[in-house]
Amino acid sequence: MKIACIGGGPAGLYFAISMKLRDHTHAIEVFERNPPGVTWGWGVVFSDQTVENLTANDPVSAKIIADEFAHWDDIDVHIHGQCVRSSGHGFIGIGRKRLLEILQQRARELGVVLHFEAECDPGDPKWQGYDLVIAGDGANSRFRAADEAAFGVDIDERANKFVWLGTSKVFDAFTFAFEETEHGWIWAHAYRFADDCSTFIVECSPKVWRGLGFDRMSQDESIAECERIFAKYLDGHPLMSNATHLVGSAAWLNFRRIKCERWNVGNVILLGDAAHTAHFSIGSGTKLALEDAIKLAQVLNRPGLHLAAAMEEYVAHRNLEVLKLQNSARNSTEWFETLNRYLHFEPVQFAYSLLTRSQRISHENLRLRDKDWLEGVERWFWSRATEGQVGKAAPPMFAPFKLRAMEVANRIAVSPMAMYSATDGTPNDFHLAHYGQRALGGAGLVFTEMTCVSPEGRISPGCTGMWSNGHVDAWKRVVDFVHGTSAAKICLQLGHSGGKGSTRLGWEGNDVPLEDGNWPLMACSDVPWSDSNQRPRAMTRVDMDSVRDQFVAAVRMAIDADFDMIELHAAHGYLLSGFLTPLQNRRTDEYGGSLDNRLRYPLEVFRAMREAWPNERPMSVRISASDWAGEDGVTPDEAVLIGEAFAREGADLIDVSAGQTWTGAQPVYGRMFQTPFSDKLRNEGRLATMAVGNIYEPDHANSILAAGRADLVALGRPHLIDPMWTLRAAAQLGYRDIAAPPQYLNGLAQLARNLQREAEALKA
């Protein structure tokens, strides 16, 4: 094939090398707009996996690159006058300029023709004379920009400002240095890539950037100001820029996350940053470009594979890897963009939060990297959890947590899950077995399913209730069993279905009305939940009084049943959630419109419940922290205000869920996908929170807790299939101090031995 590679960066050069290695008859030319030796950026960081991929693809260039790597293991986090160092991270780096020199030399050896100072106009007809045009011309790709609609380009410009500098100061650890100025916080990402040079990226929010005057400074003035701010880290060494083509504030950039629906149009194929970008804080841009080049060369050289099929395989394979990294990069980017959330953390927790920000590094992964440091984090966590009484190195999920006078034995909760198995609201033997098993299974706190305060407030005929003395007796049987046989506490979740009521059992279809016997519905407004649901009538003030009193009556019954805690369900589109979300609340009176108005009735109900509930016992509120509807619904920023409003009325914990408030929601699923909402409420609102949503491994729970993203972790579906989830986690992690039923101790010990043998066998 006759191929033109646009851009002489790592993507284009390594693709040319990879193609020539597979078939030396390819005629390949690389066109680079800059002169030889001119490049933007300083050092490039690689992972061990990337080096293995390079070695398998081209041992010759890989050996030269590897022989010149700078190696380091430590990360230093400087915050509040302290330095927190952790080890075992295994970084390797090389100067970008030197990397390009190695790749240029290797490309020439293989017969690739290199053209420098070559301006490449996408509209030039000469490109039609090539079988393929590989657009590896970076994040500012002219070839991508020439046909954005065809490529399906999606660009998200991030908020923070950054400038990419270098310095002759050689850092012996990957260094994060956070400095407070009179205008706010600014920080540096610094790492060495050669024996005499380090990368030094400075980052801050736009507000701080303007406050410090960078928007009005020349490049030299900007550098001088950065040298002043970070003087104690530079030890007299200067900062340098090689972006000489930029002047003034233009040297400061906003990172642009780039995605493309299609990576090829006609004979043009996008490669590396031209097709996708990943934030510099996870250091994977060059990795993605090189691995793109390898895979593309593989499929293009496979005999009998036509271009369309080759591109389909290439994009399917690489897009998955890109999405994984972009998701991690998004998490990392958002951590730095919301830095103010974490500045109240003690340095050790701040460093832990920083290290785990992308979710690529977890609690147990840190144990493998630096066991002593991780155990120090655990001792700190336990000391804080026990007010200095206990400082043992043990997983955070097993530390106690106190809400008012109630102390839960550990941080794992059984999430409220509808069982649809009651008769006329009365729990039965199923509920005794269901909740009893999960209490025996080691969870610190067990939540009931949404228990309805009236027959008309049920979702389905199978929902549990709390409106009659028979319900009190049946629930007390469950509560007494939990208290008598386990160390768990039990919380009654109370709610009213609103416009989502009078439907069949959950496994008979979602939101499907009853075949007969439907009861009339009322809600905040006369907005039906879906086209198939009946239209509710809008609540009157008399209705509101009646429902409020039903909640209070249910609270008094919960006292008789001896529940430890009450939760008000104000999420997921049910009655009180319908008041909170503008997608359901269409009222024009004092209960609609502004957030204060939408909060008015839910707060009234909660206030009345709190007054009826004993002061020493805690209460929580479940909210949907996002309607997944952009600015049209409840936003995470509004959710913080909602959580704060309930806390002022005496809520001790915010159970942070999301969505299920309208049928058009488009949630973004993934591991721990709702935990960022808990993080936001906890650390912006300074609220105690419980995280929920696709949390299913002990490692997830420990990472969330140690990073300060939640105070409790609730698991739903994992507990459905494994009521012993918490005891199993204790066995897996070698934790022996968990409260377990004496009848099960031998089984727990056997499980722990079996799991230890399995782990040792995997290491062998």
List the catalytic residues. 574
Does an H or E element contain 83, and which?
strand 82-86
Structure tokens at 550: 């039903």
Nearest to 656 by CA among 621, 631, 685: 621
Q: Tokens 């509807």 label which residue?
A: 629
Can you tell me the distance from the alpha carbon of 382 to that of 384, in angstroms, rounded to the nearest whole number? Answer: 5
In single-letter form, the type of residue at position 731 comes to A
Backbone torsions φ then ψ of 125, nearest 5 degrees: -65, -15
Strands 689-691 and 653-657 turn out to be parallel
In single-letter form, the type of residue at position 56 comes to A
> From the CB of residue 757, how many other CB atoms can be counted at a distance below 10 Å?
10
Terminal-residue alpha carbon distance, the chain: 48
Can you tell me the distance from the alpha carbon of 568 to that of 551, in angstroms, rounded to the nearest whole number? Answer: 9
404: left (phi over 0), alpha (psi -120 to 50) or beta: left
Secondary structure class of 638 (helix, strand, coil): helix
Can you tell me the distance from the alpha carbon of 50 to that of 642, in angstroms, rounded to the nearest whole number? Answer: 46
Can you tell me the distance from the alpha carbon of 627 to that of 666, in angstroms, rounded to the nearest whole number? Answer: 9
Can you tell me the distance from the alpha carbon of 339 to that of 376, in angstroms, rounded to the nearest whole number? Answer: 23
**H helix runs in 130-240, sequence order:** 142-145, 148-151, 206-211, 219-229, 231-234
Torsion, CA 516, CA 665, CA 464, CA 409, rounded to 10:
170
> From the CB of residue 763, how many other CB atoms can be counted at a distance below 10 Å?
5
- b/e string for 583-605 if b means 16 or more Cβ within 10 A? bbbebeeebbeeeebbbbbbbbb
515: left (phi over 0), alpha (psi -120 to 50) or beta: alpha
Q: Are 5 and 15 in contact (CB under 8 A)?
A: yes
Can you tell me the distance from the alpha carbon of 698 to that of 364, in angstroms, rounded to the nearest whole number? Answer: 9
Angle 515-520-523 from CA coordinates, rounded to 5°: 125
**H helix runs in 110-218, sequence order:** 142-145, 148-151, 206-211
Could you tell me the maximum CA-CA distance found in the chain, to the nearest angstrom? 88
Q: Is the dihedral of CA 654, 656, 657, 662 positive or negative?
A: positive
Torsion, CA 139, CA 144, CA 149, CA 153, rounded to 10:
-20
